Amino acid sequence: MTASLPLGRFITLEGGEGAGKSTQARRLAAALAAEGLPVLRTREPGGSPGAEAIRGLLLGNAVAKWDGVAECMLHFAARREHLAATIRPALAAGMWVVCDRFADSTLAYQCFGQGVARSVWDGLAELALDGLRPDLTLVLDIAPEAGLGRVLERAGQPAGAGPDRYETMGLAFHQRIHAGFRAIAAAEPARCVLLDATCSQAAVAATILAAVRARLLP
């Protein structure tokens, strides 16, 4: 009888624009690999060929405004592809998956930010996720004004990319998102850890690794 493969652990990083999620995802994946763990780092929207194609639609500036429900559906369509092609196979193989954004971002951006009904998110999550939830979600907290300032600074650097569609939306939108992420973290303390993202990258990385060790590496 063949033994079943060990299940990996699923860690997501969430937060508003400029919070440093991508940087911290890279640092966390490297730290876990240094401890001898098999690690896959991925992102949303994206993370698989089909999902990356949808990412171009969502983040590009060609469409000034999607209908909120349609936008929510696009995010979950990309997420379903990502799960099927990348996340579930990695977890089944015993890998630790570190993901830059996941379903909480759709809840914060589309429901809190754009006013889509929570029931829409709930229905799409039930359909697309098949019950999969992160083992740990690290919510990087930064005031919207400071986060958007980081985005502008990054865009002004020689190798910086221009802002995407979400980054160009107004401050009030990002304030609603910020409140949304805080509400999500407060509602699920067993899964979520709210972290101060205004510290140095090294300090934030150390806090993240401490949280991962405390929650997932006892």
How do residues 90-105 score in pLDDT, each as one tens digit? Answer: 999 999 999 999 999 9
Q: What number of other Cβ atoms are within 10 A of residue 68's Cβ? A: 17
pLDDT category, 109, cuts 50, 70, 90?
very high
Of residues 59 and 48, more confidence is placed in 48
Task: Say if residue 6's pLDDT is above 70.
Answer: no
Where do the domains of the chain lie?
A: 10-216
Contacts 24+ apart (CB under 8 A), 47-50: 47/82, 47/85, 47/86, 47/87, 47/99, 48/81, 48/82, 48/84, 48/85, 48/86, 49/85, 50/78, 50/81, 50/85
How do residues 122-169 score in pLDDT, each as one tens digit? Answer: 999 999 999 999 999 999 999 999 999 888 887 665 545 566 778 788
pLDDT category, 113, cuts 50, 70, 90?
very high
Query: Chain-wide mean pLDDT for the chain?
Result: 91
Task: Say if residue 185's pLDDT is above 50.
Answer: yes
Task: Say if residue 2's pLDDT is above 60.
Answer: no
Res 155: pLDDT: 64
Task: Say if residue 5's pLDDT is above 50.
Answer: no
| Average of per-residue pLDDT across 15-20 | 94
Three-state DSSP string of the chain:
CCCCCCCCCEEEEEECCCCCHHHHHHHHHHHHHHCCCCEEEEECCCCCHHHHHHHHHHHCCCCCCCCHHHHHHHHHHHHHHHHHHHHHHHHHCCCEEEEECCHHHHHHHHHHHCCCCHHHHHHHHHHHHCCCCCCEEEEEECCHHHHHHHHHHHHCCCCCCCCCCHHHCCHHHHHHHHHHHHHHHHHCCCCEEEEECCCCHHHHHHHHHHHHHHHHCC
Task: Say if residue 31's pLDDT is above 80.
Answer: yes
Res 3: pLDDT: 38
| Average of per-residue pLDDT across 7-22 | 94
Write the class of the CATH domain 10-216. Answer: alpha beta
| Average of per-residue pLDDT across 175-183 | 98
Res 4: pLDDT: 42
